[in-house]
Chain A
Amino acid sequence: MDFNDTPEEAEFRAEARAFLEQHLDKKEPGRPSRDESYMKRAKEWQNIKAENRFAQITWPEAMGGRGGTPMQQVIWNQEEAQFDAPTAPFAIGLGMCVPTVIAFGADEHKERYVKKALHGEEIWCQLFSEPSAGSDVAGLKTKAVRDGDDWVVNGQKVWTTGAQFSDYGILLTRTDPDVPKHKGLTMFIVDMKDPGVEVRPIHQASGGREFNEVYFTDVRIPDSDRLGEPGQGWKVAIVTLMNERLAVGGSPGPDWQEIMDYARDAGTLSDAAFRAKLADWYVAAQGYKLTKFRTQTALSRGETPGPENSIGKIITANHLQDICNSAVEMQDHYGIINDPGKAPADAIFQESLMWAPGLRIAGGTDEILKNIIAERVLGLPQDVRVDKDKAFSEL
């Protein structure tokens, strides 16, 4: 038992690190910069990665990947995270959308889209969630109706990351309302620059506007841009969701070390109740980190990882909310101030406190994730689904 790379892994890590050092600066402590140049820098960096086969390491070489192992992708992600690497705009497209195009698209699609996406020329978004279809996404209403060689799309999507700067999206629609909900869905590639596509930012509870609503009004999509057969959209969507990147990112915000540092500065580190909570946070953070190490061990040994990684977001989202809550309360009345110039730790606790509720919902709510563990890991019965065998139009 150790935390070391195998000789092959160490060799790849050294190669990756040398490449990163050649092109990027080391990450500075504090907040990453997201200024106006961010998108330009992101596209340039994506292109450099693709040219050198460090983009999508597990993709086959014929698709522009490296033909590498999942462990190499993990190592790359770990190393890249040490640097000021602008990667955010491509995470969903290359992690979820384009793999779906590769799996279900025609040769012409692969020819047209994969290389440009890989080289950062085009950005993709994923259009699944709707106002009335979140956890139960198969209950979506956006409809696509066949008209000659085209499909005509009307409806609304929501919580779409990156829609405002995306060139294309994969769009899940209802094409047959007269069959049960999972059976009447069809997936398409949609051009986000189509005049019938309107992107509106969502003003989030946290105050930011990172996500979007997307409205579709009589958008015509050629049948040739369908992914999978009509009615097979749910199967396609499952593949998209299975392609989510290996979760190797760190904590999504301040963790035990940050609040411990703050408590020391504030003179409250000796408080017994605080110390007991700090111990709990350390144990949870270690539990999360070390569980990822177990998953990586399986990858490194060429085995299929067990289901243990499914605990990740349940732990981290609540953990973040709890730490930020304690940090704000430690500051007493002053804790309400979120001006980075005045609040301790650049107001990171206040900012993350307001972000945490969203983290507990995005990408599967706590409750849905617990259902998934209960059903898929523990094999417990599915929830009662009264709509399972009814036509969608009769619900």
Chain B
Amino acid sequence: MRRRLVLAFGLLLILFLGLAGYVLDRAYTRSVDAAAEERLQLQVYALMGVAEPEGGKFFLPDLEEARFMQINSGLYGFIFDRNGHELWRSPSALTLKLDAAPLLGSKMRPGQTNYGNASAGEQGGLSWASYRTYWEALGQYFYFVVMESTEPRAAEINEFRSTLYLWFGALTVLLSIAQYVFLRWALRPLQQLAQDVSAIESGAQDQLQQHYPSELVPVTENLNLLIKSERERQDHFRSMLGDLAHSLKTPLAVLSTALQEARHQQQFTPEHQRDMAEQLQRMDQIVSYQLKRAVKGNKAVLARPVPVAPVLDKIIGALQKVYHDKATRVLLELAEGVQFYGDESDLMELCGNVLDNAFKYGKSLVQVKAGQNGKALLLEFNDDGNGIAESDRHYVLQRGARADTVKSGQGIGLAVVTEIVSAYGGELQIDCSEWGGASIRIRLG
């Protein structure tokens, strides 16, 4: 994750600084160019100001700019007539070879200045300004042209660029270091989390430590709950497996002795057959009970809420098919939008077992009520059967009762229900319904 963030921020930095550098460079170059054009324009005005026509030529005796007078100084002045004949050139341009055509736009309006760049052999790059004007005294159009070497400008821009690159380079290094340090600091809780998790894996600690930033607390709390419920589940399965193995040992022992006895007596008596059938049935009962006990019981950890109505509809539909002959009437009283925060198959197992008993032992009526209290689901199942004898109720409410101690019939189903209720930290109450049958009230969560 850190590598990704460093990479992302690094790319962003390069992109940002690169773009900023480009924009600054362009802006500076443009301003230098604009200043140069302004300077050329001023020089043109200066030429026009001192130009004196005489005999078809121009004389400029009072030129103030010394660079016009100094040969190859980098600043050159020219005057052309409308046909492009050179009428005057500054002493500085004595040796300058020049193609005048590009400078003299025939479509130029009087008072218009054109700018451009040209190359002039040894003198290197030149930028020029050409101004067309109408001289009333002579009744003619003239072009006043000033050229300036681009070298000083290029040098100025290069110097600016060097400074810019230097500063931006320094900025990049500085920001990269800052970014690395900030990321290390900001991601330290996640690193701590990874260390905590590996410490849990290695068995050095049971839970994630509690000093995480508030943004991470919901994650760590849920992880802790998940770890806890996973551990409970492991314990649950371990004890279940032990329970299963131990409860199978007794019938196995009876089977083994019955077989030994039969071998010893050299005959398979009806008593032997009965004993073996009994033990097989007992083993079957033990296995079904333990299988049913294998509930998930995820509580509300990361659980999506399950709508209760469709689950009840499915179970009731299935049971009405199975107990078709009884034509049981079902009274459903469900609160609006009632939900279960847990595993759907656990809810189905719970409702299936309770309702199976209600359909089986009820005479003709089953009532189901469901309500919600916060995240807790409240269920009530009533029937009009004979009810559960008070002396039997404690069997049912014993959690984790060994399979071989659970009575068959109503007992097994309800023992499984008790397991599920307990896995979700809920409660189960057995009473007598208003019709004299069983009334089972369950709170889940």
* A is bound by B: no
